[in-house]
Structure 1
Amino acid sequence: MSPPPIEAVTEETRYGAFLDLHLLRRFFRYAKPHTRWVLLALAILPLNTLIQLGQPLLLRQAVDEHLIPGTLDGFAGLLVALGVLLLLQALAGYGMSVVNATLGQRVVRDLRRDLFGHLLRLDASYFNKHASGRTTNRVTNDVEAVSQMVSAGLIHLIGDVVLLTGILISMALLAPTLSLTLVVALPLIVGGTLLAAKKSRLAQRENRLMLARMASRLTEEIEGQQEVRLFHRQQRNHAEFEQQNQVYFTSSLVSNTWEAFQFSFIDALSTVVIAALFWIGASMSSADGVTIGTLVAFIDYVRRVFQPVRDLSGKFTTMQAAMTALERIFGLLDSKPQITDAQVNHAFTLPARPRLVMQEVGFAYGEQPILKNLSLTVEPGEQVAVVGPTGAGKSTLIKLLNRTYEPQQGIIQLGGQDLQNIPMATLRRTVGVVPQETFLFSGTIAENIHLRDPSIPQAAVEEAAHKTGAMAFIADLPEGLNTRLTERGGNLSSGQRQLLGITRAFVFNPALLILDEATSSVDTISERLIQNALQELMVGRTAIVIAHRLNTIIGADRVIVMHGGEIIQGGSHQTLVTQPGLYRKLCELQFGLDGSLPTLQQG
């Protein structure tokens, strides 16, 4: 499949307005707590401008009063004054850089903190609709773009405008006639700079698009490396990547060419302006108010004019990128979680063995109904198995029980309380889930079991690992429970990762345990170990077990059969296996039962 056309501009590559006042006002709320740093930066700006404006005047005085007449009295003082101004300029520049960098980092620290905290409050529906790469980009690249706006954009932009204004006023006051030369050249300067900035920006936009595509391609190559080799796709994938790489190379050359043109154009134009000033100045006499010193000072001012003009063009792209980044950041912050925590007393408790009641529960993803008028009661200590074909709604049922999603009709009660009235912390401690594949974080085995919960002692982790049988392989590792895991636990087998997931559930001691096909992705030997661990975990607990392998749920107190989002059968295994229906067909498919349909024995 060929890649999409290069001209396509995505959310990651588009540019917003140069200045969006609504976004800036909202952003300034983050700068408000750091007002003293803002004021310090703004105070340095006029100081730096005055220092730069004073240097050409000293040169003028040195030429007219000392060098031309040949009088050296007081010349040393001028040199000292010039040296002091240069030193002050260096200190002011250093101070501005430090203040801007500090301000930028403080602001984006607060912004990044709010973004991360907001992500933790969002529910599953947001992450299902938004790619993880784009969400990560908000907290990393977009925040960095805002940091650049603060440290090298917004305040520097104000400084460049102040400096440019001060230079133009000084030149007009110093020699109005010579100023006409710059007035003629200024449209050329601005026009050439804007043209180069526009062309360079278009190329940079394409660069961002190609970088995003190459990063996506690289991620797929790493995650899908097994399929790439099994189907011998290396050469073709390399050719496709090289095509993208070549487009990036070409657009980079275009961008660099226009940037080089911008600098060389300004340098060449500044040389022409200076030459014109020499020619005009030579034709004017001191009676016109233009002395040699005035001409020298004026040329120094011209040299200083081009630096802020050049900087302004660079700030243009920086500010546009920051405006777009702010729009995306605030768009994320404005995303409201669909599931909110219950506003009740945090001392709220549930019974040690709560009763679960679901009444006429309905749920749909979009317009596609998943659960239809589902009613189910699970008594305290009861172990209920839920079976059915793919798409029957089993996994959705689990997501409703721990409030990953909310039911769109009906009610769900736990311990006599509606789930929406139970604090999330209490609910998640009460309802424990062992998923089909356990997600392991970077860190030690012990940290992955207790999830850095300070209320869980090391002794409880060791006890849980012994009871689930996980300690059998943990003890053989070089550092035992302190062994560090690679990304997603890649240095463990799938069975070992699943045992850690069961141990994690064990140590958090949930009253209602949900097993979501916890043995479906492991081999037969690992399945037996995991089954033993699960049996230990389920002792004395209320449990809901979802499984495709029916031999894992034969010992359940009750079996619920789902199809099309509805419960179509219910009863014990021994009862259902003798009755015509979906459960009997599933047993026939898995166990090859004959017409007498003998009762299956666990083993």
Structure 2
Amino acid sequence: MSDTFEEDLLEDKIKTNVWDPVLFRRMARYTKPYLGRVFIGTVLVFIMSGFAILPPALAGATVDIVFTHGNSVLARMIGGGVEFFLPKFADFSAMDKLIVMASLFFLMRVGAFFTEWGNGYLLAGLGQRVIHDIRMELFTHIHRLSLSYFHRHPVGRLVTRTTNDVGAMEEMFSTALVMILKDIVMLGGIVVVLLAINLKLGLIAMSVVPVMLVATLIFRKYARAAYRKWRAALSRINAFTAEVLGGVRVVQLFHKEERNDAAYDEIGQEYKTHFIDQRTAWAIFRPVSTTLSATGIALVIWFGGAAVLGEFNVSGDQAFTLGLLFMFIGYAELFFTPIRDLTEKFEVVQGAMTAAERIFTITDEPRTIVNKPGAQDFGRVKGEVKFEDVLFEYKPGEPVLRGVDFTIQPGQTVAIVGHTGAGKTTIINLVCRFYDIQGGSVKVDGHDVRDWTLEGLRRNVATVHQDVFLFAGTVFDNVRLGDEDIPREKVIEACKYVGAHDFIEKLDGGYDAKVEEGGKTFSAGERQLLSFARALVFDPAILILDEATSSIDTHTEELIQEALVKLTKGRTSIVIAHRLSTIQKADRILVMHKGKLAESGTHQELLAHKGLYHKLYELQYQALDDVEKEPELAIDKAPALSPRHSSGALRTAAATATGKTGPAAEDTSHEKAAGRGAGDAS
């Protein structure tokens, strides 16, 4: 068994037991807004149970009243009740009495139909309302958790929580709890009737119950362990599937289909094994419970039949009639049905309790990035960004930034360069306050980012990443991100500004063209242009470009470089770039090395300093000279500032030297580079 499976299994363990009262109370609080429905539903359950209990007694009384004329306590009770409404019932002919008894049975079934229908409709609505509340609480909590939480938990596992686990709770709230209450009421009613009519035969009928309880306890222990392992395996399947499908380009690029097939088969085998174990438990328990039920019925027939024949005394001086035997046989059969149902409902409740605990594990996860008491929205900023002796670590004891100090003045364009892991992306994450620092301060316009409300801070900042995510919907909605306050004219103006308008107009539907999830039908360059329009339409005071041009072909880059000049005008711009040629005009360049600010200055100042930046610059442009001589070898030798690094000039020169020129060659090179980067990361 893999370590991952063990982790999933550990996560899925129930704290105490299936009937954990603390967990039940926590689940029950979701019904508080709907107590009226709960009360009416409970009343209907008692009425339903009464309708379910009466038929055997009515059938037995019919035998004694109509056919055998037995003077049993049952015949007197039912007959007396009928005579209350029909005073001359005792004088009716046998056929008339039969018609009356059959009519009573029919009316009882009609009443049962309407109460069951009303209860089902009422509680189905209750279940859906409760589940909607749970689902909304879970969803709203998940996408407000800090980014560090998503680094620790696979997306597929979270999808399982919001779908499969919520679905398991839905069945319990919609049907299982109602049926459990009904079964308990029925059991109590049957026991009272049996013992009241004939104590001795009632005890005989229930004599197999202790054996059934022991069998149930054994079954519960085995089935619970199997169920837990099965749910853990299901979670692994979902997580693995989401991961592989999300990286299918990398999988195909490196021919890892067979390896993933084998891994998926291993997980599937675990799932199959634990599912079969769970079903095996039921396959054993059901015939055992049926056999025990049949044993109880057989004992009633044996001893009750002997009592009717006068061979066994169960009633003292009173005769045990055929009608009483009919009633006891009916109740003996009815008695074991709710017992079996309760055991089977155990599976539903068990699944719901397991699912609830898994869901509550998420909802109990503290939101670490929240507005502190007294946080303010300071409005539109000028754009000053200041780091003062910043210490930050993702994991305790492993600092990513150490003693970082710098100030970006309003309207400046500042580039950040450095090797992988130097802390470049961490810096922009801290500006947006996706994480909190361990030491020092990060300030925007003189205010610590922790003193800002999250909404106020992030309204002033827009980030454009290399990997642009587009949501399912229309182009128009993707640019404005569903913000109803942004008019169509402003979206079109922004798209024209960044050069996206022309290709959008060529789409079927234009700005109303449908976008697939992730924007798979758009090229990398087109997605990038849309992301620029998205940033522009929100008019941020601080613009962050995280390798925003590193996966774009040369032709598209020319378009957006022009747009960038307009986009950054009047805004503070922070640029993370690996093409050093694209940042030469930056007002300032910060060179990060091993979590520290190694150098700072303009392009010319840093070259003159002949430090780390000069070395990176020389290495990158030395690669260009190598391309002209040995293009294929140079691509392999080219130094990378990060796994995603891909020098546009280097690729263009290589394409020219090898005869593969134009945007297509550029795109292909970037796709391969992106694929290798993702592959290495995995």
Superposition TM-score, scaled by structure 1 size: 0.92
Aligned: 1:223 with 2:253: no
Q: Deviations over 1:348-368 (max 9, x none)?
A: 4234x2322222222111221
Q: Could you tell me which amino acid in structure 2 is paired with residue 61 of structure 1? A: A
Structure 2 residue aligned with 1:316: 346
2: CA distance, partners of 1:178 / 1:194: 26
1 or 2 for the larger relative contact order (CA 8 Å, sep ≥6)? Answer: 1
Q: Which moved more, 1:28-37 or 1:357-366?
A: 357-366
Offset, 1:178 = 1.2
User: Of 396, 421, 427, which residue of structure 2 is paired with 1:397?
Assistant: 427
Query: Per the alignment, do residues 154 and 522 of structure 1 end up closer, same or farther by CA in structure 2, a change over 3 Å counting?
Result: same
User: Of 617, 620, 633, which residue of structure 2 is paired with 1:590?
Assistant: 620
2: CA distance, partners of 1:185 / 1:67: 32
Offset, 1:241 = 4.0
Structure 2 residue aligned with 1:184: 207
1: CA distance, partners of 2:600 / 2:376: 37
Check whether the contact 1:175–1:289 (CA below 8 A) recurs between aligned residues: no
Q: Could you tell me which amino acid in structure 2 is paired with residue 355 of structure 1? A: E
Aligned: 1:453 with 2:452: no
Structure 1 residue aligned with 2:568: 538
Offset, 1:488 = 0.4
Query: Per the alignment, do residues 166 and 593 of structure 1 end up closer, same or farther by CA in structure 2, a change over 3 Å counting?
Result: closer
Q: Could you tell me which amino acid in structure 2 is paired with residue 356 of structure 1? A: V
Structure 2 residue aligned with 1:30: 30
Structure 2 residue aligned with 1:127: 150
Structure 2 residue aligned with 1:492: 522
Offset, 1:334 = 2.2
1: CA distance, partners of 2:555 / 2:66: 97
Query: Per the alignment, do residues 21 and 294 of structure 1 end up closer, same or farther by CA in structure 2, a change over 3 Å counting?
Result: same
1: CA distance, partners of 2:377 / 2:226: 59
Structure 1 residue aligned with 2:67: 67
Offset, 1:223 = 3.5
Q: Could you tell me which amino acid in structure 1 is paired with residue 189 of structure 2? A: G
2: CA distance, partners of 1:124 / 1:238: 30
2: CA distance, partners of 1:562 / 1:131: 30
RMSD: 2.7
Q: Which moved more, 1:380-389 or 1:453-462?
A: 380-389
3-state SS of paired residue (1:477):
coil
1: CA distance, partners of 2:377 / 2:149: 30
3-state SS of paired residue (1:492):
coil
Q: Could you tell me which amino acid in structure 2 is paired with residue 517 of structure 1? A: E
Check whether the contact 1:499–1:533 (CA below 8 A) recurs between aligned residues: no
3-state SS of paired residue (2:54):
helix
Aligned: 1:88 with 2:111: yes
Q: Could you tell me which amino acid in structure 2 is paired with residue 326 of structure 1? A: A
Q: Could you tell me which amino acid in structure 2 is paired with residue 10 of structure 1? A: L
1: CA distance, partners of 2:608 / 2:439: 34
Offset, 1:494 = 1.1
Query: Per the alignment, do residues 150 and 178 of structure 1 end up closer, same or farther by CA in structure 2, a change over 3 Å counting?
Result: same
2: CA distance, partners of 1:447 / 1:264: 58
User: Of 555, 559, 562, which residue of structure 1 is paired with 2:589?
Assistant: 559
Query: Per the alignment, do residues 225 and 371 of structure 1 end up closer, same or farther by CA in structure 2, a change over 3 Å counting?
Result: closer
Q: Which moved more, 1:210-219 or 1:36-45?
A: 210-219
Structure 2 residue aligned with 1:477: 507
Q: Could you tell me which amino acid in structure 1 is paired with residue 293 of structure 2? A: S
Structure 2 residue aligned with 1:568: 598
Gaps of 5+ in 1: 595-601
3-state SS of paired residue (1:567):
strand
Structure 1 residue aligned with 2:461: 431
Structure 1 residue aligned with 2:58: 58
Query: Per the alignment, do residues 556 and 6 of structure 1 end up closer, same or farther by CA in structure 2, a change over 3 Å counting?
Result: closer
Offset, 1:191 = 3.0
Query: Per the alignment, do residues 263 and 94 of structure 1 end up closer, same or farther by CA in structure 2, a change over 3 Å counting?
Result: farther
Q: Could you tell me which amino acid in structure 2 is paired with residue 222 of structure 1? A: L
Structure 2 residue aligned with 1:388: 418
Check whether the contact 1:499–1:530 (CA below 8 A) recurs between aligned residues: yes
Query: Per the alignment, do residues 458 and 359 of structure 1 end up closer, same or farther by CA in structure 2, a change over 3 Å counting?
Result: same
Q: Could you tell me which amino acid in structure 2 is paired with residue 29 of structure 1? A: R
Offset, 1:487 = 1.6
Q: Could you tell me which amino acid in structure 2 is paired with residue 364 of structure 1? A: E
Offset, 1:308 = 0.7
1:173-572 equivalent positions in 2, closer than 5 A? 173-235=196-258, 237-246=260-269, 248-284=271-307, 285=310, 287-341=317-371, 348-351=378-381, 353-366=382-395, 367-572=397-602
Check whether the contact 1:467–1:533 (CA below 8 A) recurs between aligned residues: yes
Q: Could you tell me which amino acid in structure 1 is paired with residue 95 of structure 2? A: L
Check whether the contact 1:464–1:506 (CA below 8 A) recurs between aligned residues: yes
Check whether the contact 1:342–1:424 (CA below 8 A) recurs between aligned residues: no
Offset, 1:458 = 0.5
Query: Per the alignment, do residues 242 and 343 of structure 1 end up closer, same or farther by CA in structure 2, a change over 3 Å counting?
Result: closer
User: Of 164, 168, 179, which residue of structure 2 is paired with 1:156?
Assistant: 179
Q: Could you tell me which amino acid in structure 2 is paired with residue 451 of structure 1? A: L
Check whether the contact 1:60–1:297 (CA below 8 A) recurs between aligned residues: yes
User: Of 126, 134, 138, which residue of structure 2 is paired with 1:111?
Assistant: 134
1: CA distance, partners of 2:435 / 2:273: 47
Q: Deviations over 1:310-336 (max 9, x none)?
A: 111122222222222222222322222
Q: Which moved more, 1:185-194 or 1:364-373?
A: 185-194
Check whether the contact 1:53–1:170 (CA below 8 A) recurs between aligned residues: no
Structure 1 residue aligned with 2:44: 44
Check whether the contact 2:589–2:603 (CA below 8 A) recurs between aligned residues: yes
3-state SS of paired residue (2:106):
helix
Offset, 1:63 = 0.3
Q: Could you tell me which amino acid in structure 1 is paired with residue 350 of structure 2? A: Q
Structure 1 residue aligned with 2:680: none
1: CA distance, partners of 2:466 / 2:194: 75
Offset, 1:253 = 4.2
How many equivalent residue pairs? 595
1: CA distance, partners of 2:401 / 2:599: 15
2: CA distance, partners of 1:527 / 1:346: 39
Offset, 1:509 = 0.7
Query: Per the alignment, do residues 76 and 105 of structure 1 end up closer, same or farther by CA in structure 2, a change over 3 Å counting?
Result: same
Aligned: 1:165 with 2:194: no
Gaps of 5+ in 2: 70-92, 625-648, 653-682
Query: Per the alignment, do residues 110 and 5 of structure 1 end up closer, same or farther by CA in structure 2, a change over 3 Å counting?
Result: closer
Q: Could you tell me which amino acid in structure 2 is paired with residue 552 of structure 1? A: T
Q: Which moved more, 1:446-455 or 1:259-268?
A: 259-268
Query: Per the alignment, do residues 174 and 250 of structure 1 end up closer, same or farther by CA in structure 2, a change over 3 Å counting?
Result: same
2: CA distance, partners of 1:4 / 1:178: 56
Check whether the contact 1:175–1:290 (CA below 8 A) recurs between aligned residues: no
Check whether the contact 2:157–2:236 (CA below 8 A) recurs between aligned residues: no
Check whether the contact 1:442–1:485 (CA below 8 A) recurs between aligned residues: yes
Q: Deviations over 1:288-318 (max 9, x none)?
A: 4421000101111111112111111122222
